[in-house]
Amino acid sequence: MHYDEAKSEFILAWGTLGSAWGINKAMGQIHALLLVTEEPLTTEQIMEELKISRGNANMNIRGLIDWGIVHKVYMPGERKEYFTAGKDILELARQVSKERRRREIEPVKKVLEQIQEVNGGDKNEIAHFKKVTKDLSDFTNQVDGALDKFVRSDKNWFFQVLMRLMK
């Protein structure tokens, strides 16, 4: 497969995969482009490569910066803004996990904690409700703990755990 074709396939696939981590297709494609490009790119270069509008590019670049997976780079003597993505895949996975934890798990934990104070109604229904939501809360706390360990881990710890799991 020719490089340009492989690059295009990767960008399309990463854009589709992005929706699984809670970002839109264009955001995923911009990230993929920055991930496989050695040099930082301008908004114009991103627009041209992906055939997207300036508004779409700007909005999604800002979103990727908010996620902490794309960074603005200042080039001496240049007035244009340049952008790059980190190339360390484990660090990328940690950052995505950290952000998903903040955006998804922490709000769910808060709601599950608040609704345990339920009262007023049929005692059996309340007991069942509390049991189910407590089980969900316990599970969510376990997932949160695992994500927290992963986010704070180093490469050696992660791969040691992975190897133990594979045995």
The answer to whether the CB of 61 falls within 8 A of the CB of 28 is no
pTM of the full structure: 0.78
d(CA 32, CA 145): 29
Give me the residue spans of the domains in the chain: 3-85, 89-166
Q: What is the pLDDT of residue 120?
A: 83
Q: List, run by run, the mean pLDDT of 10-residue segments along the chain (167 residues).
A: 93 88 89 96 97 97 95 93 93 88 92 87 88 94 89 70 66
> Which CATH number fits the domain 3-85, given the four candidates 3.20.20.70, 1.10.10.60, 1.10.10.10, 1.10.260.40?
1.10.10.10
Query: How many CB atoms within 10 Å of residue 152?
Result: 10
Listed in sequence order, the residues at least 6 apart from 37 whose beta carbon sits closer than 8 Å to its beta carbon are 84
